[in-house]
Structure formats: structure tokens, C-alpha cells
């Protein structure tokens, strides 16, 4: 009995040493790490995971982690050139491609994300309803006084077509409503000519802009930017995680359903959903999924 | 057995504790290192604001280009300097340049992957390098400061991923007084937060480039995570136009793919905060084996700018006009510039048969040149049987006063002879000896000031029937003599 206890203790201590004082469970080498791909927005998460699970510095793993952007990542996964991808949700086109190639995708949310609206910190308006936002961007509400603010016009900035945030805006907010024409400004194009471009958000009392929470919350220089409540709920890590904040989305891990049980990719997915993995995601600036 | 096991357990526990403590020590070391980085001591003299840089004195050093390879697929070169009195400083600088060159050669020779995200994926055993360049050259050589830029590029090909071009930028910034390399903070006066100023510039640039191109952006300047601000050690180099911030793998918030990018912050955007001259330059101390004799006015070609755009398509005439100016231009000057536009428009209508006018293109551009503002107004117009090109220049003082030609010269300097000489030479070069009289053209000369010269423009002259455009010529500041000029 005592021998067994000693042996058990020996194994525990040895395990602790080998796993680095009990901080790590799953571990990989750069060679055994699954082939990953993904969207630009999940690069920091992907790099942080690889660094944690290989025990290397983030600068050391960075040259080994390549995210080819969302669509190419899906194609690479479907074509078996990647084992797991970290992306936004699949488009109709990507689902159709998978179906055409006889691949079923497993899409698992790994971190929460929200679509947030912002204005100048001194704008007295605390929040907008979801419907008010849609009416503003449809061009029906045009003055802050109509939503409890000062009598100044609302300049409702948009993002360039095909940018991630504009896609999110159309899919998560406007849905079936056509947004009004975006404010534009002249910018220098090639050969020194001037072209009309979607005007960038200007943080003054007229401005209303949008972005994903991840990009706004810790952005340098955003101290004069205020996030707006939507339907009375302020976007923060808790309200986004719990789903109280109404304009919520997520970033996902996607695998082929034929990915073997206990494969490195499945272990990686399991790990990111673990408490340790979720804490790493939060430390990297994302919002936990649970 | 039991005794042996106890000993073994004791040893293992000891090993465990030591290994954990070693890890803690390592973390403590890291914390110390981070602390050291934030406690950076500025180099050279302490300089307090306001500090400006409008011009520079060219360092009279010889910069020799050393070409190591120059073939169809490879070009490698670096520079070595000579001409400093202090040979120890000179050798130190040359040694540092060569050392950096050798380090960077590792990337061109495929010994090391460029540290871009995912670069290793392209460096398989069967990857071929089929083109490589490494060039170190001078970006700024004024006021006892030497700023060098290194560009490294490689073209790779591997069977799995195909072709890939990678491009990185490195820099070396030397204080020629000591041969030491200085940091971004040294460019700024002691009593400002240098990183804060640069961060503000980057933040504005992110926004003006329609920032937050997240999820899947398409700008060259893509954010992958919120910009948290640059830190001590930020890579940069200087040019006569401003401070160039190199955005690359050292700024992981940005997705630069496999090519570094450069963001320029003009000196004019950092009013009162630039310490280069006062920190590194003393006109009473000559560091060189020969005297410095050349000066350069720093002209800003970038910065935050606004554009106003006017076009109309009336009857048979298409008008295309624009004004570009610094964002912080005063209302007063903007009104003046608009008045110049209307004056030029009136001239077009006076000069051409309005009904026959087809096309008018008018470009007005305002830029900082030293402490002055240069306004250039170019107009081109044509009708079915004639065309004309006209350029009008205006120079304003920092107080917003329009300067006449005499205002840029010392009071006791007779500038007319050198201008007449320049004009007569131009007339000769254009082979217009039977054409305009220099005296007549001299009466209506416009001028603009640039980095090393003044440009002079005449009123449009009819070169041949139906074709009118001005005669332009330039006079170098050094030919006038810096002491005869008030622009420095």
C-alpha cells in the first residue's frame, strides 16, 4: 500500500516536472502541431495557442502560423490542406463547396464576439434600440435629437464594401433593409488622382460608427470613443458572453467531420474550449464563449 | 527500498522546487528587462520644447557604396562612410553598418526565414531562392545625423506554395558626434511623450486608411488586433520629409503579410516637438575633415491633407479642378487659395473663346517648404485650335503673409542679376533667342521654393501658334549663397 502511494507520488511529481509545474496539459512540438489556417482576426488567438502549447515564445511560433484569410482557409480545410481553421461562420459558397466535395464541416464556436456601435464620449446619448440603429442606417432617423440627443445631424459612417465589418453590419444588423448611401470623402488614388471613398469614422458629436467589440475595446487612442448600449444593454465581456447584448456573433473552429477522434486537431479544439484555453483567449483580448 | 524511495522523493521534490523557482527567476528577469526598456535615457543634449526642424546642413561625409553582388538575380550593397575627424567614431559606424549587412544577408542566403507571420511555411527543403536583394542606402544625412535604410527582398518558389515575394525594411540611425545609434524618442524634445505623438499619428493613419479593416481587410495596413501603441525600440528612419515608422513583424497588431510597410509622420505634424537639430547639431563644432557647405530646406509631401474637388460639365466644356492642402491650414489661407483658383478661372475665360473651350484641368496644391507654404496652381485648357498651360506660384510666410521675391533674399543682396542670368540661360536652352525679351518676362515672374532650389515661372509664352506655356528655370540655393537667403 505504502509502495503504491510512493509510486503514485513519484508519477505525479514526474508528471509535474515534465509538464512544467502543472501549468500545461496538452502539448505539441512545432512538428506535431496540427495544420491550422484561418481568418485575419483569429491570428492572435492562433499564435497564442501555438505558443502556449509548444512552450515557445510567440515570436518563435509566429513564422509557423499562417492564416490565409477566411475563404482560402475554408478551401484549404475542405481540400485537406489544413486540419483545423479558426474563422468567421461559413458562407453559402463555402458550405456549397464542402457539400460538392462530400465534406461535412463541424463548426464550433470558440470565442464570443459582438457588433458594437460607437460615438464620441461626450455625446449624451447612452444607447440606441436595435430598431433605431436600423432606421438611422436606412436614412429615416437623421438627427440625434430623435433618439434623445442634441439637435445635431447624425453622420452614420459605414465601412468599405467587402470589408469584414461591413459584411457583419449587413448580416447582423441591416439584414433585409438596404442601408442608405454611406458618407464619402475624396482620397488620393493611384497616379495622384482623387476618388470617392467611404468616409472614415470621425469621432465628433455627430458621428456614429461601428466595429467589432474585439477591435474597439482595447484600441489605443479610443479613450474619447463611447460604446452605445443596444436595447438597454451595454456591450462588455459579460453581456456579450451571456448573450444579453443583442448583436452577438462568434469566431469558430471548423474541422472536417472525418477528422479522427483524438487527432491533434480535435485535441486542440478540446483544449481551446477548456478553462485554460478560454482563459488564454480572454488574455489575448477575445471574449470567452462560456 | 522504502528508504531509497524517500530519498528519491526528496530529490524529485527538490528538483521540482528548483525548476519552478528557476522559471520564476526567469519571469523576474523578464520583468526587469521590460522595466529597463521603459527607462530609456535620451541621447545627446537635453532639449526642451518648442523644437522644430525646417532645414538641414548636409553632413560633408563621403558615403561610398560597396557592391557585393550585382547579377541578374542578386544585388547586395551597403555603404561605408569617411570624412569624420574622429576615426574611432567613423570605424564604429562602419563596423555597425557592415555587421547589420552581414546579419541581413542571412535572409537573402536562406539561412534564416524572414520573421513574418507564416514565413517558415514557404521555407521547405525544396524551396528555391530565385532572386534576392539587400540594399543599404542613405535616407537622411543632415545636422550630424545619418539615417540609413536597409531593404531586403527575396523571391521564393516551392512546389507546394508556388511563388512568394518577401520584403523587409531595417534601419540604422547614427549620431555622428558619438557613432551611437539613437532611438525614436531621441528625435523628440525631452518634455513630450514621443511615443504618444507617434501613436497618435499611427492611430490617425489607421482611421484615415478606413481603419479597422478587420476580419478580412484589404488594405496594405491591416489590423489583426486592436492597436496598442508602439514601444521603445520601434524601428524607424528619418528623411527630409519626416519620421518614417516601419510597420512589420515587430508590430504584431498589423497584418503586413510578407512585406514591411512605412508610415511617414511629417515633421510639420509634430510642431514644437522635434529635437534633431538642437540635440545633435552645433554649428560651432565641426565634426568633419572639411567644412559643411550645403543646406537643404525640408519639404513635406505628405501628412494629413484635405482635398476639395470641383468639376462641372457645362455646354461643351469639362472643368476638372481640385485643391489639396494640409489639414491644419488656416481659414484665412484657405480663402486666399480659393481666390487664386477663381483668379485663374477668370484668366482661362479671358484667354480662350469660352464657346470653343473643351477641357480645363486645374490643380492647386499647398505644401510646407521649410517654415513657408508653397502654393502651386497649375491649369491646362484647350479648345479646338489652341491649348495653354499656366503655372502660378505663391509663397506664404508662417504668419500667412504673401511673400514677394525680395522677401526671400537678404536686404543687401542684389538678386536680379542671377535671376536674369537664369532666365536668359533658359531662353537659350529652349532655343527661343528670337522670341521673348528677358526684361519683359522678368516683370511677371512667379516663384516657388523647394528643397535645394527656387523655381521661377514666367507667364505663358506663345511658343508656336495655338500653343502657349510658361518658361521655367531653377536656381540652386548654393549658387545664390545661403547667407544671401532668408529661407534658412
pLDDT tens-digit profile of B201-259?
888 877 765 433 333 333 456 788 999 999 999 999 999 999 999 999 999 999 888 99
Contacts (Cβ under 8 Å, ≥6 apart) of A25: A19, A271, A274, A276
Q: Which of B20, B121, B213 sits opposite A21 (nearest CB)?
A: B20
- Topology at the third CATH level for domain B55-297: Heat Shock Protein 90 (3.30.565)
Give the bridge partners for B263, in sequence order: B245
What whole-number distance in Å separates Cα of residue B374 and Cα of residue B395? 5
**Residue A12 forms contact with B (CB below 8 Å):** no
In angstroms, the first-to-last Cα distance of chain A is 42
Residue A73 shares a structural domain with residue A120: no
Condensed to tens digits (0 to 9), the pLDDT of residues B51-83 reads 999 999 999 999 999 999 999 999 999 999 999
Condensed to tens digits (0 to 9), the pLDDT of residues B358-382 reads 899 999 999 999 999 999 999 999 8
pLDDT confidence of residue B34: 38
Q: Which of B118, B199, B211 sits opposite A65 (nearest CB)?
A: B118
Residue A122 shares a structural domain with residue A185: yes
Residue A121 shares a structural domain with residue A232: yes
Which one, of A62, A69, A79, A73, lies nearest residue A107 by Cα? A73
Domain that holds residue A279: 2-112+251-288
pLDDT confidence of residue B402: 96
**Residue A219 forms contact with B (CB below 8 Å):** yes
Cα of B446 vs its chain's centroid, Å: 27
CA distances from B150 to B70, B104, B172, B173, B474 (A): 16, 9, 8, 11, 33
- B9-18, B26-35, B177-186, B449-458: lowest mean pLDDT where? B26-35
- A255-269, B30-44, B224-238, B473-487: lowest mean pLDDT where? B30-44
Residue A265 shares a structural domain with residue A170: no
Residue A137 shares a structural domain with residue A19: no
Q: Which of A164, A188, A202 sits opposite B215 (nearest CB)?
A: A164
Instruction: Determine, for residues B307 and A10 on separate chains, whether the beta-carbon distance falls below 8 Å.
Output: no
Give me the percent of chain B exceeding a pLDDT of 90.
59
Residue A123 shares a structural domain with residue A238: yes
**Residue A158 forms contact with B (CB below 8 Å):** no
Instruction: Determine, for residues B309 and A162 on separate chains, whether the beta-carbon distance falls below 8 Å.
Output: no
A vs B: CB pairs below 8 A: 158
- Closest approach of B163 to chain A, Cα-based (Å): 15
pLDDT confidence of residue B182: 96
Contacts (Cβ under 8 Å, ≥6 apart) of B347: B379, B390
- A16-30, B181-195, B266-280: lowest mean pLDDT where? A16-30
Instruction: Determine, for residues B9 and A10 on separate chains, whether the beta-carbon distance falls below 8 Å.
Output: yes
pLDDT confidence of residue B268: 86
Kindly compute the dihedral angle of the four CA atoms of residues B79, B82, B83, B89, in this order, to the nearest 10 degrees: 100
Confidence class of residue B21 from pLDDT cuts 50, 70 and 90?
Answer: very low
- Kindly list the residues from chain B whose CB atom is less than 8 angstroms away from the CB atom of residue A70: 215-216
Give me the percent of chain B exceeding a pLDDT of 70.
87
Kindly compute the dihedral angle of the four CA atoms of residues B327, B329, B332, B334, in this order, to the nearest 10 degrees: -60
Residue B85: how many other CB atoms lie within 10 Å: 11
DSSP B231-286: -TT--EEE-SSEEEEEESTTSTTEE-TTB-EEEEEEGGGGTTBB-HHHHH--TT--
pLDDT confidence of residue A13: 46
What whole-number distance in Å separates Cα of residue B339 and Cα of residue B325? 14
Residue A66: how many other CB atoms lie within 10 Å: 23
Count the residues in chain B.
488
- Closest approach of A218 to chain B, Cα-based (Å): 6
Residue A55 shares a structural domain with residue A145: no
CB distance A246 to A130 below 8 Å: yes
Q: How many domains does chain A have?
A: 2
Condensed to tens digits (0 to 9), the pLDDT of residues B97-135 reads 999 999 999 999 878 889 999 998 888 788 888 899 999
Question: pLDDT higher for B415 or B27?
Answer: B415
**Residue A238 forms contact with B (CB below 8 Å):** no
Residue of A nearest to B305 (CA): A187
pLDDT confidence of residue B239: 96
Instruction: Determine, for residues B23 and A43 on separate chains, whether the beta-carbon distance falls below 8 Å.
Output: no
To which H or E segment does residue B71 belong? none
Confidence class of residue B304 from pLDDT cuts 50, 70 and 90?
Answer: confident
Mean pLDDT confidence for B36-49: 72
What whole-number distance in Å separates Cα of residue B193 and Cα of residue B195? 6
For residue B377, count CB atoms less than 10 angstroms from its CB and return exposed for 0-12, middle for 13-18, buried for 19 or more: buried
Residue A98 shares a structural domain with residue A48: yes
pLDDT confidence of residue B443: 84
DSSP B440-456: HHHTT-EEEE-SSEEEE
Instruction: Determine, for residues B117 and A40 on separate chains, whether the beta-carbon distance falls below 8 Å.
Output: no
In CATH, what number is assigned to the domain containing residue A275? 3.40.190.10
* Residues in chain A with pLDDT values less than 70: 1-24, 162-163, 186-197
pLDDT confidence of residue B301: 75
Query: Beta-strand (E) ranges in B61-196?
Result: 62-70, 74-82, 128-142, 145-158, 162-175
Residue A18 shares a structural domain with residue A101: yes
Contacts (Cβ under 8 Å, ≥6 apart) of A289: A109, A110, A111, A112, A241, A250, A273, A278, A281
- Kindly list the residues from chain A whose CB atom is less than 8 angstroms away from the CB atom of residue B1: 3
Residue of B nearest to A35 (CA): B121
Residue A29 shares a structural domain with residue A92: yes
For residue B393, count CB atoms less than 10 angstroms from its CB and return exposed for 0-12, middle for 13-18, buried for 19 or more: buried
Residue B338: how many other CB atoms lie within 10 Å: 13
- Kindly list the residues from chain A whose CB atom is less than 8 angstroms away from the CB atom of residue B15: 17
**Residue A216 forms contact with B (CB below 8 Å):** yes
CB distance A208 to A156 below 8 Å: yes
Residue with the three cell numbers 511617414: B264
pLDDT confidence of residue B6: 60
Residue with the three cell numbers 527500498: B1
Residue A61 shares a structural domain with residue A149: no
Residue of A nearest to B308 (CA): A186
Residue A129 shares a structural domain with residue A239: yes
pLDDT confidence of residue A19: 43
Amino acid at each position: 500500500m505504502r509502495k503504491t502511494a510512493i509510486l503514485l507520488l513519484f508519477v505525479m511529481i514526474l508528471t509535474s516536472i515534465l509538464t512544467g509545474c502543472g501549468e500545461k496539459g496538452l502539448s505539441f512540438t512545432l512538428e506535431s502541431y496540427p495544420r491550422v489556417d484561418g481568418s485575419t482576426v483569429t491570428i492572435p488567438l492562433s499564435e497564442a495557442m501555438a505558443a502556449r502549447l509548444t512552450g515557445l515564445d510567440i515570436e518563435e511560433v509566429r513564422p509557423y502560423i499562417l492564416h490565409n484569410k477566411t475563404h482560402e482557409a475554408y478551401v484549404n480545410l475542405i481540400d485537406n490542406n489544413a486540419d483545423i481553421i479558426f474563422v468567421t461562420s461559413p458562407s453559402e459558397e463555402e458550405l456549397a463547396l464542402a457539400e460538392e466535395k462530400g465534406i461535412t464541416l463541424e463548426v464550433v464556436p470558440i470565442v464570443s464576439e459582438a457588433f458594437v456601435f460607437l460615438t464620441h464620449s461626450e455625446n449624451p446619448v447612452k444607447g440606441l434600440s436595435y430598431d433605431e440603429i436600423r432606421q438611422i442606417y436606412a436614412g429615416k432617423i437623421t438627427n440625434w435629437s430623435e433618439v434623445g440627443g442634441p439637435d445635431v445631424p447624425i453622420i452614420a459612417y459605414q465601412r468599405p464594401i467587402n470589408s469584414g465589418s461591413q459584411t457583419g453590419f449587413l448580416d447582423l444588423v441591416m439584414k433585409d433593409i438596404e442601408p442608405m448611401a454611406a458618407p464619402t470623402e475624396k482620397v488620393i488614388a493611384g497616379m495622384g488622382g482623387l476618388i470617392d471613398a467611404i468616409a472614415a469614422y470621425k469621432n465628433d458629436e455627430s458621428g456614429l460608427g461601428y466595429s467589432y467589440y474585439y477591435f474597439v475595446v482595447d484600441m489605443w487612442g479610443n479613450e474619447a470613443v463611447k460604446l452605445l448600449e443596444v436595447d438597454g444593454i451595454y456591450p462588455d465581456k459579460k453581456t456579450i458572453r451571456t448573450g444579453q447584448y443583442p448583436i452577438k456573433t462568434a469566431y469558430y473552429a471548423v474541422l472536417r467531420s472525418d477528422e479522427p477522434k483524438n487527432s491533434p486537431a480535435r485535441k486542440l479544439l478540446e483544449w481551446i474550449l477548456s478553462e485554460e484555453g478560454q482563459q488564454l483567449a480572454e488574455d489575448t483580448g477575445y471574449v470567452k464563449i462560456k | 527500498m522504502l528508504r531509497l524511495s524517500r530519498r528519491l522523493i526528496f530529490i524529485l521534490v527538490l528538483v521540482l522546487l528548483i525548476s519552478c523557482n528557476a522559471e520564476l527567476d526567469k519571469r523576474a528577469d523578464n520583468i526587469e528587462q521590460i522595466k529597463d526598456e521603459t527607462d530609456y535615457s535620451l541621447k545627446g543634449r537635453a532639449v526642451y520644447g518648442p523644437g522644430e526642424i525646417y532645414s538641414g546642413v548636409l553632413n560633408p561625409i563621403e558615403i561610398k557604396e560597396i557592391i557585393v553582388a550585382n547579377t541578374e538575380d542578386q544585388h547586395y550593397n551597403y555603404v561605408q562612410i569617411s570624412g569624420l575627424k574622429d576615426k574611432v567614431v567613423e570605424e564604429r559606424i562602419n563596423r555597425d553598418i557592415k555587421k547589420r549587412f552581414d546579419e541581413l544577408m542571412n535572409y537573402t542566403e536562406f539561412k534564416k526565414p524572414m520573421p513574418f507571420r507564416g514565413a517558415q511555411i514557404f521555407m521547405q527543403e525544396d524551396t528555391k531562392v530565385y532572386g534576392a536583394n539587400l540594399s543599404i542606402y542613405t535616407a537622411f544625412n543632415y545636422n550630424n545625423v545619418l539615417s540609413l535604410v536597409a531593404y531586403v527582398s527575396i523571391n521564393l518558389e516551392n512546389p507546394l506554395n508556388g511563388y512568394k515575394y518577401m520584403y523587409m525594411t531595417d534601419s540604422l540611425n547614427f549620431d555622428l558626434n558619438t557613432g551611437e545609434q539613437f532611438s525614436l524618442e531621441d528625435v523628440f524634445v525631452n518634455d513630450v511623450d514621443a511615443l504618444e505623438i507617434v501613436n497618435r499619428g499611427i492611430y490617425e493613419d489607421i482611421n484615415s486608411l478606413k481603419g479597422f479593416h478587420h476580419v478580412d481587410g484589404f488594405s496594405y495596413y491591416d489590423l489583426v488586433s486592436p492597436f496598442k501603441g508602439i514601444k521603445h525600440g520601434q524601428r524607424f528612419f528619418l528623411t527630409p520629409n519626416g519620421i518614417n515608422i516601419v510597420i512589420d513583424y515587430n508590430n504584431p497588431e498589423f497584418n503586413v503579410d510578407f512585406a514591411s510597410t512605412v508610415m511617414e509622420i511629417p515633421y510639420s505634424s509634430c510642431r514644437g516637438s522635434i529635437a534633431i537639430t538642437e540635440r545633435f547639431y552645433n554649428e560651432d563644432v565641426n565634426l568633419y575633415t572639411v567644412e559643411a557647405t550645403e543646406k537643404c530646406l525640408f519639404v513635406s509631401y505628405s501628412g494629413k491633407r484635405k482635398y476639395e474637388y470641383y468639376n462641372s460639365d457645362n455646354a461643351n466644356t469639362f472643368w476638372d479642378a481640385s485643391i489639396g492642402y494640409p489639414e491644419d491650414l488656416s481659414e484665412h489661407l484657405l480663402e486666399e487659395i480659393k481666390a487664386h483658383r477663381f483668379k485663374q478661372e477668370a484668366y482661362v475665360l479671358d484667354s480662350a473663346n469660352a464657346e470653343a473651350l473643351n477641357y480645363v484641368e486645374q490643380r492647386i496644391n499647398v505644401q510646407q517648404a521649410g517654415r513657408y507654404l508653397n502654393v502651386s496652381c497649375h491649369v491646362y485648357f484647350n479648345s479646338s485650335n489652341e491649348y495653354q498651360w499656366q503655372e502660378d506660384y505663391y509663397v506664404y510666410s508662417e504668419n500667412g503673409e504673401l511673400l514677394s521675391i525680395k522677401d526671400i533674399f537678404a536686404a543687401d543682396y542684389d538678386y536680379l542679376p542671377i535671376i536674369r542670368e537664369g532666365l536668359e540661360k533658359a531662353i537659350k536652352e529652349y532655343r527661343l533667342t528670337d522670341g521673348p525679351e528677358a526684361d519683359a518676362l522678368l516683370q511677371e515672374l512667379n516663384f516657388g521654393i523647394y528643397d535645394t532650389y527656387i523655381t521661377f515661372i514666367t507667364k505663358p509664352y506663345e511658343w508656336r501658334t495655338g500653343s502657349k506655356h510658361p518658361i521655367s528655370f531653377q536656381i540652386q540655393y548654393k549658387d545664390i549663397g545661403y547667407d544671401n537667403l532668408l529661407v534658412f
